[in-house]
Structure 1
Amino acid sequence: MSCKSISHPILSMLVFFIIVFIPDYHVIWADESSTLPTKQAEQLSKAVETLYRDVVAGNITKVREETVQIERLFTSSSFQGLTEVEGIHALAECIVEVKVATSQALLQPELWLQATAKLRLAADSLNNRTQPLWHQYYKVVREDLSTMQSQLNLNNKEGLKQAYDSLQTHYELIRPAIVIQKKPFEVNMMDSWISYAGGITTSTSSKSDAIQSMISQGEEQFNTLFGKKKDEPAFAPQIQFNTSQKGIWIGALFIVTILSYVGFRKYRGEERSMKTLPPPKL
Structure 2
Amino acid sequence: MFGAYNVKRLGLIITALLVAALLGGCSGNDKDKNEAEAPKPSQEQLQKADLLNRTADDMYQKLLQGEVEDSRIVLQQLTDQISQIRYEGLTSAEGMTALTQTVTDAQRIFGLAKVQPEDRQIAAAKVRLAADALTHPTQPLWLQYYDRLQDDVTGVEQAAKSQRQSDLQSASSRLEHNYSIVQPSLVIGRMPSDVEKMDSLVAFVRSQSLLQGEPFDDVLNAVPAMRQMLDKLFMRQATTAYLPYPEPQNPILWTLTFGLIILSSLAFAGWRLSKKNDGLVPVRRSNDDTR
TM-score (norm 2): 0.69
Q: Structure 2: any 5+ residue segments left out of the alignment?
A: 1-25, 256-291
1:58 aligned counterpart, secondary structure: coil
Whether the 8 Å contact between 2:209 and 2:215 is mirrored in structure 1 is no
CA 1:113–1:250 in structure 2 vs 1: closer, same or farther (change >3 Å)?
Answer: same
1:179 aligned counterpart, secondary structure: helix
Kindly provide the CA deviation profile for residues 160-205 of structure 1, in whole angstroms up to 9, marking residues without a partner as x.
Answer: 1111111100111101101111222112211211221122222233
1:107 aligned counterpart, secondary structure: coil
Matched, 1:39 2:47: yes
1:204 aligned counterpart, secondary structure: coil
Matched, 1:147 2:151: no
Whether the 8 Å contact between 2:41 and 2:89 is mirrored in structure 1 is no
Q: Larger Rg: 1 or 2?
A: 2
Kindly provide the CA deviation profile for residues 52-74 of structure 1, in whole angstroms up to 9, marking residues without a partner as x.
Answer: 00011121231232122111211
Shift of 1:249: 5.4
What is the total number of aligned residue pairs between the two structures?
A: 226
Residues of 2 paired with 1:41 and 1:208: CA distance?
A: 45
CA 1:163–1:81 in structure 2 vs 1: closer, same or farther (change >3 Å)?
Answer: same
Whether the 8 Å contact between 1:135 and 1:226 is mirrored in structure 2 is yes
- Whichever residue aligns with residue 151 of structure 2, its letter is E
- Whichever residue aligns with residue 89 of structure 1, its letter is T
Whether the 8 Å contact between 1:21 and 1:251 is mirrored in structure 2 is no
Question: Which residue does 2:86 correspond to in 1?
Answer: 78
1:203 aligned counterpart, secondary structure: coil
Equivalent residue for 1:175, pick from 166, 172, 183: 183
Residues of 2 paired with 1:175 and 1:96: CA distance?
A: 15
Question: Which residue does 1:67 correspond to in 2?
Answer: 75
Kindly provide the CA deviation profile for residues 203-232 of structure 1, in whole angstroms up to 9, marking residues without a partner as x.
Answer: 233354322111111111211111122994
Q: Structure 1: any 5+ residue segments left out of the alignment?
A: 1-16, 255-282
CA 1:230–1:128 in structure 2 vs 1: closer, same or farther (change >3 Å)?
Answer: closer
Whether the 8 Å contact between 2:156 and 2:168 is mirrored in structure 1 is yes
Residues of 1 paired with 2:115 and 2:176: CA distance?
A: 24
Shift of 1:106: 5.9
Residues of 2 paired with 1:64 and 1:210: CA distance?
A: 43
Question: Which residue does 1:201 correspond to in 2?
Answer: 209
Shift of 1:252: 9.2
Question: Which residue does 2:65 correspond to in 1?
Answer: 57
Report 1:1-282 matches (<5 A): 20=29, 34-104=42-112, 107-229=115-237, 232=240, 236-237=242-243, 240=245, 245-246=247-248, 248=249, 250=251
CA 1:231–1:152 in structure 2 vs 1: closer, same or farther (change >3 Å)?
Answer: farther
- Root mean square deviation of aligned Cα: 3.1
- Whichever residue aligns with residue 250 of structure 1, its letter is P
CA 1:141–1:230 in structure 2 vs 1: closer, same or farther (change >3 Å)?
Answer: farther
CA 1:154–1:128 in structure 2 vs 1: closer, same or farther (change >3 Å)?
Answer: same
Whether the 8 Å contact between 1:149 and 1:212 is mirrored in structure 2 is yes
2:42 aligned counterpart, secondary structure: helix
Whether the 8 Å contact between 1:83 and 1:181 is mirrored in structure 2 is yes
Kindly provide the CA deviation profile for residues 248-270 of structure 1, in whole angstroms up to 9, marking residues without a partner as x.
Answer: 3538979xxxxxxxxxxxxxxxx
Question: Percent of aligned positions with the same letter in both sequences?
Answer: 23
Whether the 8 Å contact between 2:160 and 2:217 is mirrored in structure 1 is no
